[in-house]
Structure 1
Amino acid sequence: MNPTIETILNHRSIRKFTDQVISSEHLSLIIDCARAASSSSHLQCVSIIRVTRAENRELLAEYAGNQSYVSSAAEFLVFCADFNRHQQIKPDAKLGFVEQTLIGAVDSGLMAQNALLAAESMGLGGVYIGGLRNNPEKVCALLNLPEHVFPMFGLCLGYPDQVPEKKPRLPVDLVLHQERYRALDAQKLSEYDEQMREYYRERSQGKSEQSWSEQISQALGKEARPFMLVSLNKQGFALK
């Protein structure tokens, strides 16, 4: 096993950070690694907003659902799908298609994963903040995002001040399909559910437990940000 694979397999979300700053050299390398990610048709349709002002961080933490680590992390980056740059190059660009929204989301994810892996290889940790999409219009206003730019998620980075247990992932038998999609294996799911219950029992010192199936039922038993299409449309995304 090489160091790259060790870094990938050792991933865990970090939500508590020390006061140590990230050097400009390390931050520059992290951004360079993000920029090196694959890009659909080489559109390079992502912009990264680095947020450093305390008052802006506090507002973003609030917008994201009062996630305090947004303001306490050494760095906070917002990954945005960006076709405004392309419109400036070609004013009559055909924009607003759902496919472009998907490309922007995929490219943002690829860049952010490169950034986090690079950071983790340097001894840093981080956590993604999808909660920015709780209040996308407020985020757009705060970051002065023009039409055809949309904040997909944020990324906290810093030196870890915790070593949480790795959260168990779905077993390979439930993820990897051969040639054709196969039905869900109820026995494998049951085994994973028990693994997740044990994980939460240990993490909470026996105060709570929840299976993955219960998590999914809770998460998908209600509307998920029903305002999202309107917010995307206001920024010129997913119009057609």
Structure 2
Amino acid sequence: MTINRIELLRSRYGQSLDFDSEWHECLTTLLSHRSIRAYRPDPLPSGTLELIIASAQSAATSSNLQTWSVVAIEDVQRKAQLAALAGNQKHIQQCPLFLVWLADLARLAHIAESRGMSSAGLDYLEMFVTATIDAALAAQNATIAAESLGLGTVYIGAMRNHPEKVAAILKLPPRVFAVFGLCVGYPDSPPTAIKPRLPQSAILHRERYDLTVQDAAIAQYNEIMQNFYREQQMNVAGDWAEHSVKRIATPQSLSGRDRLREALKNLGFELR
């Protein structure tokens, strides 16, 4: 089914609009993204994983340090263990391929040690941030590649709910942290609707940041999302702003991630 640019943009923003610019097929893939939470068990064609990883490695990386790694998981029992740590999300067990994306400073530490050189810079927060960004950029490239091949994906931030237990299951060495997971596979349901995002007026600032435009943009988005929930027959109480604030209201709202600094220390990150 071919969806034109106007339909895609309307779905992405919940209102009719278009931009006067050239259009390429990669934009269709990007704007068509939606999270998939039901998968067929069909294995992926040979070479698919390697092609996805090649795409991930084509992402930008700070100073070419490549401070990320990924663990590809197909074993049923290991997926079940990780699913249990992530709130029993069934799609982790359903998908034929589960990728865990890692902020990885162990490789550089190993290289420095093997050459008898210092790696004291790895103990600073900057390097953890660099590794996390590297992992995120790589994973997003992989996601786009997978979706361009007709596969579905969904990110699993709940890998951060129990960092030490995830590290134990994956045998991660010190200075390696599971940033998030990614389910990959063939969708086992009709395509879900594209969820609208905030108006560009809320996130696009020209020349300097301006917080004064937020209230109008958020009010508009609350209405768009309530219309979306009605159209999709989703029984959701409250608006987007209320849902979002509830997610940050207390440390307990963070689903165990309020102890992330402690967990990172336990995993060998000094974060000076």
TM-score range, shorter chain: over 0.9
Alignment of 1:20-39 (within 5 A): 20-39=42-61
- Does residue 221 of structure 1 match 2:240? no
Q: Deviations over 1:171-209 (max 9, x none)?
A: 111110011110242222111101111222333x25334
Matched residue pairs, number? 239
Correspondence 1:233 to 2:233: no
How many Å apart are 1:216 and its aligned residue? 1.4
Matched-pair identity in %: 40
Q: Is 1:200 paired with 2:222?
A: no
Is residue 93 of structure 1 aligned with residue 115 of structure 2?
no
Q: SS state of the match for residue 227, structure 1?
A: helix
Give the 3-state SS of the residue equivalent to 2:271 in structure 1.
coil
SS in structure 2 at match of 1:22: coil
Q: Residues 184 and 128 of structure 1: is their aligned pair in 2 closer, same or farther, counting only changes over 3 Å?
A: farther
User: 1:148 and 1:180, CA in 2 relative to 1: closer, same or farther beyond 3 A?
Assistant: same
Q: 5 Å matches for 1:42-53?
A: 42-53=64-75
- Kindly provide the amino acid, as one letter, of the partner of residue 187 in structure 1: A
Structure 1's 238 and 177: CA in aligned 2 closer, same or farther, altered over 3 A? farther
- Is the Cα contact below 8 Å between 1:196 and 1:211 reproduced in 2? yes
1:199 and 1:209 map into 2 onto residues whose CA distance is 13
Q: CA deviation at 1:210?
A: 3.4
Q: Report what 2:210 is aligned to.
A: 182
Q: Distance in 1 between matches of 2:192 and 2:79?
A: 24
Greater CA drift, 89-98 or 43-52:
89-98
- Structure 2: how far apart are the matches of 1:13 and 1:152? 18
Aligned partner of 1:142 in structure 2 is 169
Structure 1 moving runs of 4+ over 3 Å: none
Q: Is the 8 A contact 1:38 1:107 kept in 2?
A: yes
Q: Over residues 38-78 of structure 1, what are the superposed CA-to-partner deviations in whole Å (9 max), with x where a residue is unaligned?
A: 10011101111011211110010010111111111010000
Question: Distance between the aligned counterparts of 1:119 and 1:47, measured in 2?
Answer: 18
- Worse overlay, 121-130 or 193-202: 193-202
CA distance in 2, matches of 1:200, 1:171: 17
Partner Cα separation in structure 1 for residue 261 and residue 234 of structure 2: 40
Structure 2 vs 1, CA of residues 16 and 206 (structure 1 numbering), >3 Å: closer, same or farther?
A: closer
AA partner of residue 200 (structure 1): Y
Aligned-partner SS, 1:226: helix
Structure 1: state its 5+ residue gaps: none
Structure 2 runs not aligned, ≥5 long: 1-22
Q: CA RMSD in A?
A: 1.2
Partner residue, 2:185 = 158
Give the number of the structure whose alpha-carbon radius of gyration is greater. 2
Where 2:44 maps in the other structure, the secondary structure is: coil
TM-score of the superposition, structure 1-length normalised?
0.96
Match of 1:169 in 2: 197
Contact 1:125 1:159 in 2 (8 A): yes
The one-character-per-residue Cα deviations of 1:140-198 (angstroms, maximum 9, x if unpaired) are: 00000010111100000001123111111011111100111102422221111011112
* Other structure's SS at 1:4 match: helix
Task: Single out whichever of 177-186 and 8-17 deviates more from structure 2.
Answer: 177-186
Task: Write the distance in 1 (CA, Å) between the matches of 2:271 and 2:201.
Answer: 38
Partners of 1:195 and 1:111 lie apart in 2 by 31
Q: Is the 8 A contact 2:198 2:217 kept in 1?
A: no
The question of whether the paired residues in 2 share the 8 Å contact of 1:128 and 1:155 is answered with yes
TM-score by length of 2: 0.85
One-letter code aligned to 1:118 = A
Find out whether 1:68 has 2:95 as its counterpart.
no
